[in-house]
């Protein structure tokens, strides 16, 4: 395999091709390569006689089937992934010696796995949860894994608490209920008795926990890492992924309905976007802090429950990742990929963040049982693009055939090879940090502020976002049965905001707090999704139409929508063709039975001269639901009558008119705006 990424950006894809098998047009064989003449009937003693153990093909086929599942991940079990490439915008050699962050002409292959955290593999995509955003860079210095989340902080400060928080948010152990939900007693009991969770809970209760798409959510490395340059100078760094489509979310009712209508909503969205050439793009940003400024922020930079406000430490955008190829086999790639925060390259190092330090053990440990032993690095999706040379041998699922008798270091029989590489030769060298202190099981006093950044987050939200957080608390705690737990949570979050806590306490039938509150007045505009990128690109528009629609006008509108990057899909009473005037026809993608408004970003109502009573009823329900989710709605010609009857005309985000040029411009702008929170609910 080639070592030089720059010579071939598709190096990893070619490597995987070596393990790819296309069965089309081939003859059936056993796993030993023997051609098989029968695969419908097992070998029997007579037509109605007993099956014979002699049937080796039956035994091999059934044995493989019985063992083809591996343990799912304890967390992040439900995931979906894609291949892509990363390209740097500017040379970062002033900060790091990592080669893939120095040459702007190199396209580094990547593999990205998105995931929910708490649910099992069979749970729905759109549950309220944090999302994993793990990226494997196949660099010429080895694999680098940036194991990120879509939330920049975490529940806990020390990894020894990780089993506890996971046990708490998983289904309760007595009845294994509820699945993929934190709306239960044990989770909120943990929260109230581990108040370092406050900041993360604010994010989980916000719209960030129900993203519109994997393509429209940010990614954060969570921890403070180190950059180290060629001169040995170190910098503290936090990693960010910024989606070029902006950061957008679902609404709570919408996410609930999607879980039943389309539990694979995020999977379908990512897969179809790539298949249609709408390649997801994320820019890589870094927050960099000089070592001498370690204690200049208001919080401890080693505390994983805290973020660095972007207004205080700006995010420097340094490159872009493009996801441009779907996987060929879900199990072999998405399910078997193994990430580890300890997979680093020269120039990227760790800090003493106690949560990070624990993850450096946990990730590799869990792969041993999940992937069947120490050789999971030999699975094709996990293999680096550079050769592997070491003295490790044997073990479960070993594939490499090592030549020679030497499997130890140091040695003379093989000229003391493989030999360690000096830093000048590319060898990894740990940053030489001076460490002093007594062995102690304790937590630094600088970690004890649990509420200031939770308040910062609340202060940064728009009125609509604050309402959603209140509703989320009300829903979650409304499912909690213990009055004691409810009261403890109210007492805890009174320290974050009395406005918030009084609002949700009333909704769950508990006495609103009168004491507490916060003196924190700062906000961080970067935390609000109202301050993101707004674009119509790749948004899905449901086009409701019937026979007899105005052919030329509607054709013009559809062409404008497509030109702006929107994806229209046609919905009618029956599948087949729908026919308009002047011979204009469209193929119907969905009926009202097979598609719902929650699967679309906007609705364009056309109708037609030949609508049935059933059509009008279904169309009205479709539009009502979209309107209640604050989505853009447009109508021309006969479609305007429907919006007039429902008294939607004139509402924010409702665009009507038969001047199709003006209508198209206004409707496209409305779709780009995503939601209209100031819309009156009728």
Instruction: Write out the catalytic residue numbers.
Output: 76, 149
What is the C-alpha end-to-end distance of the chain, expressed in Å? 64
CA 540, CA 604: separation in Å to the nearest integer? 11
The answer to whether the beta carbons of residues 538 and 253 sit under 8 Å apart is no
**Maximum alpha-carbon separation in the chain:** 89
Cβ neighbours of residue 118 closer than 8 Å, sequence gap 6 or more = 75, 127, 129, 166, 169, 170, 180, 181, 182
CA angle, 557 then 560 then 565, to 5°: 130
Cβ neighbours of residue 543 closer than 8 Å, sequence gap 6 or more = 558, 568, 569, 570, 571, 586, 604, 606
For 156-169, the three-class secondary structure string (H helix, E strand, C coil) is CCCHHHHHHHHHHH
Cβ neighbours of residue 522 closer than 8 Å, sequence gap 6 or more = 309, 456, 459
403-439 in b/e form (b: 16+ CB < 10 A) is eeeeeeeeeeeeeeeeeeeeeeeeeeeeeeeeeeeee
CA 557, CA 545: separation in Å to the nearest integer? 13
CA 488, CA 188: separation in Å to the nearest integer? 9
CA 682, CA 678: separation in Å to the nearest integer? 12
Q: Which two tokens stand for residue 206?
A: 């916000």
Nearest to 190 by CA among 171, 158, 166: 166
Per the listing, tokens 């990363």 go with: 86
207: phi then psi, degrees, rounded to nearest 5: -65, -20
For 616-627, the three-class secondary structure string (H helix, E strand, C coil) is HHHHHHHHHHHH
For 223, the 3-state DSSP assignment is coil
Nearest to 311 by CA among 489, 93, 204, 459: 459
**Strand stretches in 76-159, DSSP E:** 79-88, 107-116, 131-139, 142-149
Peptide bond into 418 cis (omega under 30): yes
Per the listing, tokens 């719902």 go with: 596
CA 457, CA 466: separation in Å to the nearest integer? 10
Nearest to 453 by CA among 663, 160, 151, 179: 151
For 201, the 3-state DSSP assignment is helix
């Amino acid at each position: 395999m080639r070592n030089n990424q720059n010579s071939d950006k598709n190096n990893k894809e070619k490597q995987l091709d070596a393990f790819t098998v296309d069965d089309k047009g081939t003859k059936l064989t056993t796993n030993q390569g023997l051609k098989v003449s029968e695969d419908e009937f097992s070998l029997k003693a007579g037509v109605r006689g007993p099956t014979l153990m002699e049937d080796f093909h039956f035994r091999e086929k059934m044995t493989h089937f019985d063992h083809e599942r591996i343990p799912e991940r304890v967390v992040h079990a439900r995931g979906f992934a894609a291949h892509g490439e990363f390209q740097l915008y500017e040379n970062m050699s002033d900060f790091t010696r990592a080669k893939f962050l120095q040459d702007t002409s190199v396209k580094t292959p990547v593999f990205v796995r998105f995931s929910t955290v708490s649910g099992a593999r069979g749970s729905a995509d759109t549950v309220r949860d944090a999302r994993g955003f793990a990226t494997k860079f196949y660099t010429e210095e080895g694999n680098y894994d940036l194991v990120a989340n879509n939330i920049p902080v975490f529940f806990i400060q020390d990894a020894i608490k990780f089993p506890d928080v996971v046990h708490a948010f998983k289904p309760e152990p007595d009845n294994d209920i509820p699945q993929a939900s934190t709306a239960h007693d044990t989770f909120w009991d943990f929260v109230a008795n581990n108040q370092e969770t406050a900041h993360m809970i604010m994010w989980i209760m916000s719209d960030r926990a129900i993203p519109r798409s994997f393509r429209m959510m940010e990614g954060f490395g969570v921890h403070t890492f180190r950059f180290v340059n060629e001169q040995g100078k170190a910098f503290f760094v936090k990693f960010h992924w910024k989606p070029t489509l902006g950061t957008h979310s679902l609404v709570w009712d919408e996410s609930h309905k999607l879980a039943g209508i389309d539990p694979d909503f995020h999977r379908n969205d990512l897969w179809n976007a790539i298949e249609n050439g709408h390649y997801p793009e994320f820019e890589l940003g870094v927050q960099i802090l000089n070592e001498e400024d370690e204690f200049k922020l208001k919080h401890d930079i080693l505390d994983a429950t805290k973020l660095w406000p972007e207004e205080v430490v700006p995010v420097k955008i340094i490159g872009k990742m493009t996801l441009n190829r779907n996987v060929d086999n879900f199990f072999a790639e998405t399910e078997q990929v193994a990430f580890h925060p300890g997979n680093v390259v020269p120039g990227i190092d760790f800090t003493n963040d106690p949560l990070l330090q624990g993850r450096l053990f946990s990730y590799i440990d869990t792969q041993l049982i999940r992937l069947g032993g120490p050789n999971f690095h030999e699975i094709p999706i996990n293999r680096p693009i550079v050769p592997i040379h070491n003295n490790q041998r044997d073990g479960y699922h070993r594939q490499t055939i090592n030549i020679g008798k030497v499997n130890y270091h140091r040695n003379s029989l093989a000229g003391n090879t493989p030999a360690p590489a000096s830093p000048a030769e590319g060898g990894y060298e740990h940053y030489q940090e001076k460490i002093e202190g007594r062995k102690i099981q304790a937590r630094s006093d600088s970690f004890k502020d649990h509420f200031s950044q939770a308040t910062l987050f609340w202060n940064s939200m728009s009125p609509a976002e604050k309402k959603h957080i209140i509703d989320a608390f009300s829903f979650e705690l409304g499912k909690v049965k213990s009055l004691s737990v409810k009261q403890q949570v109210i007492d805890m979050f009174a320290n974050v905001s009395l406005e918030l806590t009084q609002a949700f306490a009333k909704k769950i039938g508990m006495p609103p707090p009168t004491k507490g509150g916060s003196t924190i007045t700062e906000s961080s505009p970067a935390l609000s999704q109202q301050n993101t990128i707004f674009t119509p690109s790749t948004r899905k528009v449901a086009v409701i139409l019937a026979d007899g629609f105005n052919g030329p006008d509607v054709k013009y509108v559809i062409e404008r929508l497509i030109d702006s990057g929107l994806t229209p899909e046609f919905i009618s009473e029956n599948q087949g063709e729908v026919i308009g005037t002047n011979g204009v026809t469209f193929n119907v993608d969905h009926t009202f039975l097979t598609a719902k408004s929650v699967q679309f970003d906007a609705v364009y109502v056309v109708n037609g001269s030949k609508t049935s009573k059933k059509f009008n009823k279904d169309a009205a329900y479709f539009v009502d639901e979209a309107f209640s989710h604050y989505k853009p709605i447009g109508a021309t010609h006969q479609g305007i009558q429907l919006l007039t009857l429902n008294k939607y005309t004139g509402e924010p985000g409702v665009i009507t008119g038969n001047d199709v040029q003006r209508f198209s411009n206004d409707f496209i702008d409305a779709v780009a705006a995503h939601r209209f929170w100031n819309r009156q609910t009728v």
